[in-house]
Amino acid sequence: MTELSKTAFIIQCFDKEIVNNKVHELKEELDKDYKYLVGIAISNSNAGANSILEQVKVKGADVLPEKFEAAHVMSNGAVAPNKRFFSWFTPIPVSGDEMIIRFSDPNWSTNYNLQVQVLLTNNLEEIVNVLFA
């Protein structure tokens, strides 16, 4: 079994302050030194359980289905940091492409900072073994 510490990967973070229950857009270019997007996670425990990932797109293509429940990619502190990613999608070939995430929290009650983490790698086979081990 491959160990995560031996793989070439990076966790890129998108941050956005959530200030109401409307749709918020997070937009950023992915690290051009990495070739595949293989995982997504939301680390913020302030985000409501009914939060929605309205769209997650790279190069105009959907990474996740529209209106995907954010709870599917959220974990609490009991989950090891390297196991917090959701990876049940086809790895997306990337090359410094722009990623757009549209997020909404219908139960928003107070401002908080949302952090979405994406896992990028150059070594597809090894990282997939780690993610699903």
Partner 1 sequence: MYSLHKIYGGDLKNQGSESFRFTIKDFKKVRGAFCSGGVNLSLNFDNGRKVFLHEFEFGKTTDCPPNKRPVIFEKDLDMELISGVVSGIMGQQTSVYLILEK
Contacting residues toward partner 1, per CB under 8 A:
41, 49-50, 64-65, 67-69, 71-76, 78-80, 83-91, 128, 131-132
Owner of token pair 């190069």: 59
First to last CA, the chain: 8
Nearest CB to partner 1, comparing residues 53 and 99 = 53
Look up residue 75 and give its amino acid: S
CB of 11 to partner 1, least distance (A): 15
Closest residue by Cα to residue 41 from 7, 64, 66: 64
Nearest CB to partner 1, comparing residues 50 and 95 = 50
Nearest CB to partner 1, comparing residues 30 and 73 = 73
CB of 20 to partner 1, least distance (A): 19
Ramachandran area for residue 32 (φ above 0: left; ψ -120 to 50: alpha; else beta): alpha
